[in-house]
Amino acid sequence: MTVLITGASGFIGSWLTLRLADAGQNVTAQMRRAPSALFEQLGLCEHANVDVVVEPSMESVLTATQPETLYHLAGMSQVGEALRSPAVAMEANGRATWLLFEALRQMEVPPNTVIASTDSIYGETSGQAATEDFPTNALGPYEVSKLMADTAARSYAWVFGLPVTVARLGNVYGPHDANGARIVPSIVSAVSQGNRPVLRGGGRAVRSLLYVEDCIKALRLLAEKAGADGVQGEAFNLSGDPPMTTLQIARHTLDAFGFADVDPEIIEGAPGETSEKFSSPQKAERVLGWRPETPFEDGIKSVYSAWKEAQ
């Protein structure tokens, strides 16, 4: 079994590479730049089943590899970066995806394909868990660029019959996530340096969090069934359940790190500042039989153990 992962050097990409390679699959790990610290730390550069390809052109890697399965994770993953360079975000997340699909369309046996989208395309969900048929309502450059990829992927599936499916990911967290702009790493970073975590919007912002191992299980199921009825051309929310406020996230993180007596610094903002964005994973449960299994209390303990070990 040959698998191609684009953006294999990223947080989810690295963990997915490890799990697939350990399961005996031959993984071609495409990345634009040299391997990330996490990718190296997981021993993936030396892994017998991993072929590291540093090459910006995903199409040429795809054509050369002729994989049976494709996970398209490459793109600009930081909301802040997309705000600074919207045009680059649209290129990297939008255009790059349909160029890849054009190459896919030319293949004799196109691979089963999963692309990583985001559940932030729904925008503010006003206290309700967005289902996949919820109107998409977010106009930030990151969200729009991901929505372009999401829609293009489903279009190629429906119009050209390609075995493609879309994973709308919630906030995926796990050990060794270095991206300090994401919610869990930002709290972990404050807490591990002995600082009080700062929570804006009264700590009432709400997110779905998904443990990286649960995420990988779902991605693998989607890849397996990408050509099946009810999966091909469909989008699936992969998000943790139940959604949590940043205050709850901070409390469990402080507990796991042994700082149960530290209070967060809560900044009350204007009423509009509290953001509620979360989605329901019920469709994935119904169609794939997948459910997030790791409670946040347990997932954050693994993050702590990994952090402790790295000290």
Partner 1 sequence: MTPTIDQTFAGRSVLVTGHTGFKGSWLSLWLHSMGAKVAGFSDQLPTDPCAFELCSQAPDFGAGDHRGEISDLAAVKAAMEKSQPSVVFHLAAQPIVRAGFSDPYTTFATNVMGTAAVLEACRMMPSVEAVVVVTSDKVYDNTGSPWAFRETDRLGGHEPYGASKAAAEIVAMTYQSAGFHGAAGSLSTPRIATARAGNVIGGGDWAADRLIPDFVRAIAEGRDQKIRQPRATRPWQHVLEPIGGYLLLAHALLSSPETTPEAINFGPIEATMPDVEEVATLFLDAAGATKTKLIVDEDKNAGEAKTLRVDSSLAGQILGWTPSWTAREAIARTADWYRAHLDGSNDLRELSLAQLADYRRATPVAALKG
Residues that bind partner 1 (CB under 8 A): 127-128, 203-204, 206, 242-245, 247-248, 251, 263-264, 266, 276, 278, 297
Smaller CB distance to partner 1: residue 22 or 298? Answer: 298
Which of 14, 12, 17, 11 lies closest to 3, judged by CA?
Answer: 17
Give dist(CA 70, CA 57) in Å, integer: 15
Smaller CB distance to partner 1: residue 55 or 297? Answer: 297
Minimum CB–partner distance for residue 235 and partner 1 (Å): 23
Give dist(CA 32, CA 9) in Å, integer: 9
Minimum CB–partner distance for residue 208 and partner 1 (Å): 9
Minimum CB–partner distance for residue 165 and partner 1 (Å): 27
Residue 199 makes CB contacts below 8 A (sequence gap 6+) with 205, 246, 247, 250, 264, 265, 266, 267
> Could you tell me the two tokens for 232?
């091909």
Asked if 140 and 124 count as a contact pair (C-beta separation under 8 A), the reply is no
Minimum CB–partner distance for residue 277 and partner 1 (Å): 11
Helix axes 246-256 and 296-310, enclosed angle (nearest 10): 50
Smaller CB distance to partner 1: residue 128 or 137? Answer: 128
Smaller CB distance to partner 1: residue 176 or 251? Answer: 251
Smaller CB distance to partner 1: residue 102 or 297? Answer: 297
Smaller CB distance to partner 1: residue 163 or 197? Answer: 197
Minimum CB–partner distance for residue 269 and partner 1 (Å): 15
Give the Cβ contact number of residue 247 at 10 Å: 17
Asked if 104 and 156 count as a contact pair (C-beta separation under 8 A), the reply is yes
Minimum CB–partner distance for residue 218 and partner 1 (Å): 19
Asked if 239 and 278 count as a contact pair (C-beta separation under 8 A), the reply is yes
